[in-house]
Amino acid sequence: MALVTKKLRGTEDVLPAESYRWQFLEEIMREQARVYGFSEIRTPVFENTQLFKRSVGETTDVVQKEMYTFDTKGGESVTLRPEGTAGAARALLEHGVYNDGLPVKASYFVSCYRYEKPQAGRLREFHQFGLEVYGTSKPVADAELICAAASIFERLGIDDLSLEINSIGCPECRKKYHAALKEYFASHEAELCDTCKGRLERNPMRILDCKSKICSGIAKDAPVILDYLCEECEEHFKGVKACLDSAGMKYTVNPRIVRGLDYYTKTVFEFVSGSIGSQSTVCGGGRYDGLIEELGGQPLPSLGFALGMERLLLLLDSKGIEIPKPEACALYVAALGESAEAKAFTLVKDLRDASLHAQYDIVGRGLKAQMKYANKIGALYSLVIGDNEIEENKANLKNMTTGEQVEVTLGEDFVSQFTAIYLDGKTGSPV
């Protein structure tokens, strides 16, 4: 019988045999978020479309080409989130979280949706981990955020990512820069793609981020934002670099980084890899001091980053960094007969209540098939019980690696007996 349907293009399934990899990364990210003082925020997967138009920017590729937007039965235009920051900022503003004291530090794990051409490291449904900081304009906050991202890579043993930083200034100094860009790109207008021709008047900085080879080639000789920074933005950027220098963080100033979303101001940064092809940016972020105000709140300087989970997994694979597998089944209890099955159920439940991974047959296999399954799941120990074992209230516990056996009783002290043997085995002591 043919399958009714298969997964949609640009999506991936995370199967049970692979999910431990995601869980391992998430555990490290949660731990690093905790030590840096962040608490998790969870927001809806879809929002009012206007939220993303106002925050991400109507001239961005995300809004113009990539968003999954539809009308509800009530006629409201909603969009599956293309990124995590806008929803977090909306929630902070709507619920007045900033009234609890500043800064507000929030972390998130989100699934995001963009209609792009699928390729390695770029999916239509993808996942991000992010950190958001609200309520500080100090350069040290930028450096701290960068260090938080770097700490995750360090925990994973990734030591050759390149940190690239830039400042794209504030609205005031960008006015002069926009004028210079308009003048430059106007002389190449006939060569620009149709999208960038539309950007020329509204937001020429977006041309710098165009994926067209022709437009990106023209952009290589465009004016550089660092030559147009106002005094305040220049001092802020110097402060960020000074903090990174004091922390021993290596970085490169890349004046071509603008990021793909319009809400960014001042500091922008990316962690870039040369090991995963064209989708080389593993983590990116920066400041968005005007975002809360753009969404209807009072001015509140903010910053954050997002880290792509799929790209991080690709990077780990490319470098041969193995994620440790979870501990195997500690004990498999094989049963013969109804009484033994009932006893196996009880023993396994008691073990699980003691936080030990234990399994038994729930599909009706014979003894040979049960033992074959115990081997397949990598059970460390096995216990076979039948009528004789039930009557004598004892059975032989087998070390599946060495083949050694030891007799154990099946009474109330079974869990403590097994726990002692199991822990001895883990530390290398003989059974």
CATH of the domain at 313: 3.30.930.10
Q: Where is the domain boundary, 318, 349, 380?
A: 318
- Give the residue carrying structure tokens 């004789």: 388
The answer to whether 304 and 5 have CB atoms below 8 angstroms apart is: no
8-state DSSP, 97:
G
DSSP 18-72: THHHHHHHHHHHHHHHHHTT-EE----SEEEHHHHHHHT-TTSHIIIII--EEE-
In this structure, is residue 380 part of a structural domain? yes
Same-domain check for residues 56 and 115: yes
Burial degree of 88 (CB within 10 A; 0-12, 13-18, 19+): buried
69-71, strands of its sheet edge to edge: 46-48, 77-80, 69-71
In this structure, is residue 212 part of a structural domain? no
Q: Where is the domain boundary, 285, 318, 351?
A: 318
In this structure, is residue 304 part of a structural domain? yes
- Give the residue carrying structure tokens 């940016």: 281
Q: State the alpha helices, DSSP H only, in 298-337.
A: 309-318
In this structure, is residue 114 part of a structural domain? yes
Give the C-alpha separation, 283 to 161, whole Å: 10
pLDDT at 431: 36
Res. 60 pLDDT band, cuts 50 70 90: confident
Same-domain check for residues 241 and 382: no
Same-domain check for residues 156 and 246: yes
User: Mean pLDDT, to the nearest integer, of 353-374?
Assistant: 97
In this structure, is residue 355 part of a structural domain? yes
Domain count, the chain: 2
CATH no. for residue 385? 3.40.50.800
Where is average pLDDT lowest: 54-58, 107-111, 365-369?
Answer: 54-58
Same-domain check for residues 92 and 39: yes
pLDDT at 71: 97
Strands 104-113, 125-134: pairing is antiparallel
Res. 279 pLDDT band, cuts 50 70 90: confident
Give the C-alpha separation, 174 to 160, whole Å: 33
Res. 428 pLDDT band, cuts 50 70 90: low
Q: Which domain holds residue 277?
A: 19-170+230-318
Tokens of 222: 């465009």
The chain-wide mean pLDDT, for the chain, equals 94
Same-domain check for residues 377 and 288: no
**pLDDT score of 422 more than 50:** yes
Instruction: Tell me whether the omega of the peptide bond preceding residue 103 falls within 30 degrees of 0, making it cis.
Output: yes
Q: Where is the domain boundary, 261, 286, 318?
A: 318
Res. 263 pLDDT band, cuts 50 70 90: confident
**pLDDT score of 275 more than 90:** no
pLDDT at 199: 87
Res. 2 pLDDT band, cuts 50 70 90: confident
The pLDDT tens digits of the residues spanning 132-177 come to 999 999 999 999 999 999 999 999 999 989 999 999 999 999 899 9
User: Mean pLDDT, to the nearest integer, of 182-190?
Assistant: 92
Res. 429 pLDDT band, cuts 50 70 90: very low
pLDDT at 430: 39
User: Mean pLDDT, to the nearest integer, of 403-415?
Assistant: 96
Q: State the alpha helices, DSSP H only, in 56-138.
A: 61, 85-94
Same-domain check for residues 262 and 380: no
The pLDDT tens digits of the residues spanning 88-109 come to 999 999 999 999 999 999 999 9
